[in-house]
Structure 1
Amino acid sequence: MSLQAPEFFAELCLPFPASTVVGNTYYATPVAGAPLRLRIDFSRTIHADTYGGLRLAVVHPDRGEIDAVVLDFVDHGTFHRRDEARNTLVNSKHYGTFATYRRPGKPPWEGAVTTGLRDAIEQYAAVWFPGAWAEPAPPRTTTGPLPVAPPPKGFGRRSL
């Protein structure tokens, strides 16, 4: 079954205009004209068709993968609300993960809160692609964006 990756990466609101999703992988050229690329894949767990995070990699066209990091959904609170509402046990294979099966009409990652992941991706991108994360993405609301003053630089940022 499809992971609906384009919709998931759209939900992250990554600010890279030169980007695309191929299959279940996001590719971006954060700095125009630079050789380094950003690749983001879903990170598998030990259970079949179950994903526990995102794997970010910096890739050079000639040298291949230069650096990689896995951002676990558990560490970034992605499914905390969903798991709490469903009383999912912490030691179960369903805690902080999603599988390819899903309810009809719903994405497999239903209930994901992507703010923590997005913040971690921003921090990672700042190391490898300084200045590429020019401005924050607009807030995602159901009634349309509200005018909000941006927080001061460094305010509310967590470390990877």
Structure 2
Amino acid sequence: MALHAQQFFDDVLELPLHQYAIVGDALYASPQPNSPLRLRIDFAPTIRHSEYDGLRLRVVHPEQGVLDTAILRFADHGTFARRDNGRDLVPGRDGYAVIRDWHAHSSQPPWHGADGTRLRTAIEQYAHFWFPPPPASRPAARPVAQPAPTTGAWSRTR
């Protein structure tokens, strides 16, 4: 498939994931060490063959299967706003905020001109919900020495 998924995930999203692999057109991640949960990110298809309008995020458990699915639309995150403005594409017009795998012979990947900043932020928020960072270890609290109140001072201020 000409989606160039490896380049899209590495160059456009630049996700700060602990461990991940790209298999075909999907990214599989283990955002937390020793967690059985996995994050799968792939392209969300439209009703047209080889056309995608966002990313599909899934949290997968090895025994229970898919626990949650979220769709992040390119249009909602401004991923192709610059590209579409340059082409005079507006919401509702054919080709707005989508990538297509129809031009396999093009020198540019179908996501050329994408800005993944807001999309990356949304993915990080989603991952943070399902894979919260471990609590920071703090040194044990020591009791603070409190001076004993004197009864004479208390009775004088009344």
Q: Could you state the TM-score of these two structures normalised by the residue count of structure 2? A: 0.80
What secondary structure is seen at the aligned counterpart in 2 of 1:75? helix
In the alignment, what sits opposite 2:140?
none
Asked whether the 8 Å contact 2:44–2:55 carries over to 1, the reply is yes
Q: 1:50-108: per-residue Cα shift (whole Å, max 9, x none)?
A: 10000000000000000010000000000111101110142123001010134622111
Structure 1 segments of 4 or more deviating over 6 A? none
Q: Distance in 2 between matches of 1:82 and 1:108?
A: 11
Instruction: Report % sequence identity.
Output: 48
Decide whether the 8 Å contact of 1:42 with 1:55 is kept in 2: yes
CA distance in structure 2 between the partners assigned to 1:93 and 1:25 by the alignment: 25
RMSD: 1.3
Secondary structure class of the residue paired with 1:83: helix
CA-CA distance at 1:26 after TM superposition: 0.2
Match of 2:131 in 1: 129
CA displacement at 1:6 relative to structure 2 = 0.3
Structure with the bigger percentage of helix: 2
Match of residue 156 from structure 1? none
CA distance in 1, matches of 2:50, 2:93: 15
**Mapping of 1:36-47 within 5 angstroms?**
36-47=37-48
Q: Secondary structure at the match of 1:107?
A: coil
Of 113, 119, 128, which aligns to 1:117?
Answer: 119
Structure 1 counterpart of 2:118, one-letter code: G
Q: Structure 2 regions of 5+ residues with no counterpart? A: 135-158
Q: CA deviation at 1:46?
A: 1.3
Q: Unaligned stretches of 5+ in structure 1?
A: 133-160
